[in-house]
Amino acid sequence: MPEHPPTGWRSISTSLAYRIAAWTVWYWRFDALADERHFTEMAPDEGLQALPPAGKAGRGTFVFPAYPVSAAPPAVAAREGRLVYTPKTFPNYYVDLKLEGGFERYLQGFSSKSRSTLKRKVRRYAEADSTGELHWRVYRSPEEIAEFLPQAGALSARTYQARLLDVGLPEGPEFRAQAMALAASGQARGFILFLDGRPAAYVYCSCRNGVATYDYVGHDPALNALSPGTVLQYKILEYLFEDPQMRVFDFTEGEGEHKAMFATGRMLCAKSLVFGLRPGIRLLVRLHWLTGRADEALDALLDRLGIRRALRRLIRRA
């Protein structure tokens, strides 16, 4: 990985998860250069045009986390002597934080019933606290992020995302160092919603170039009836609409009722990884693609049997 990435790229350590159902079999970990552009800044199908030409400047691995497409690109393709792997094409939901009229105008975009339900959930959550008030906190500085991480980490460990999907808040020193470095440059935000002084829900966002990214999220499953995730999302957006530095809240890849409810827009996006043709690359890519198809086939089977949602509810309660 170069010490000084080319303009428009940043150095990252990333991985591909070989996952079937709720279980991760293996991680392929590697260093790469990631495209820094946000999908809201690009026209459809122009994402890969930023790929450096093959040669010394174009060596290594490149990641395009999300770029708009008019249709799903091929999963595997050759490009200038390199392998382009596109494991995912997905709807990417987002909130336009520069909406004229701010948060109040944003709320007007909901139906009157949905708007009333949201406000009722916020009010009901506050009433459930022994103080009768809603308590939540924003963490920004390195000192604050250092305080946020253990609290959010302890909560994350109790969520189904961490226990079964292995997508909870990372606990290792590498992530902590990354979060602290982002906080030092004003590019990290942690949010925690409390109930009677105890963390009930958390969200961690990296914030680059005016985009707050929905990186890690979780809530106490014992409090599902109080909708802590929905309440915290409401407060986060209210806060971000007041921050002049923020222009987009990015829900990242994938469908979800929560995302669809809060979003102001969505775009069809693809995630692509570009590899040099080193020994073993084709095999690793092929195996990842096959495990992905097996996972999709299992999901489809569970849907046909009518037990997918029930199984997900069981997993959440486990």
Q: Would 170 be classed as within a structural domain?
A: yes
* Domain match, 64 and 167 both: no
3-state class of 126 per DSSP? Answer: helix
DSSP state of 7: T
Domain membership of residue 199 (yes or no) is: yes
Does residue 239 share a domain with residue 140? Answer: yes
Whether 76 is covered by a domain: the verdict is yes
Considering the domain architecture, whether residues 212 and 312 belong to the same structural domain is answered as no
Eight-class DSSP state of 74 = P
Are 64 and 176 contained in the same domain? Answer: no
- Describe the crossing of helices 228-241 and 112-128 by its angle, rounded to 10 degrees: 110
Q: Is residue 264 part of a domain?
A: no
The model carries a pTM of 0.89
CATH of the domain at 203: 3.40.630.30
Coil vs helix vs strand at 35: strand
DSSP-based three-state secondary structure for 55: coil
Whether residues 75 and 106 share a domain: the answer is no
Tokens of 124: 């009901």
Domain span at 131: 98-246
Residue 215 belongs to some domain of the structure: yes
Length of the chain: 318
Task: Tell me if 3 is assigned to some domain.
Answer: no
Whether residue 64 contacts residue 47, with contact meaning beta carbons closer than 8 Å, is answered with yes
Q: In total, how many domains does the chain have?
A: 2
Q: What angle, 0 to 180 degrees and rounded to 10, lies between the N-to-C axes of helices 142-156 and 173-184?
A: 140
Q: Which residues pair with 203 in a beta bridge?
A: 191, 217
Among 87, 89, 202, smallest CA distance to 138 is for 202
pLDDT in tens, 201-234: 999 999 999 999 999 999 999 999 999 999 999 9
Residue 25, amino acid: V
Please report, in tens digits, the pLDDT of each residue of the chain (318 residues total): 555 777 899 999 999 999 887 678 899 999 999 999 999 999 999 999 999 887 655 578 999 999 999 999 999 999 988 999 999 999 999 999 999 999 999 999 999 999 999 999 999 999 999 999 999 999 999 999 999 999 999 999 887 555 555 568 998 999 999 999 999 999 999 999 999 999 999 999 999 999 999 999 999 999 999 999 999 999 999 999 999 999 999 999 988 999 999 999 999 999 999 999 888 999 999 999 999 999 888 878 877 887 766 666 665 555
Instruction: Tell me if 67 sits within 8 A of 272, measured CB to CB.
Output: yes
Q: For the chain, how are helix, strand and coil distributed in percent, rounded to 5?
A: 40, 30, 30
Residues 38 and 154 in one domain: no
Query: CA 97, 100, 104: angle at the middle one, nearest 5?
Result: 80
**Cα–Cα distance measured from residue 202 to residue 215, given in angstroms and rounded to the nearest whole number:** 11
Let me know whether 114 and 216 are in one domain.
yes
Q: Is residue 252 one of the residues assigned to a domain?
A: no
Q: Which of left, alpha, beta for 132 (phi over 0: left; psi -120 to 50: alpha)?
A: left
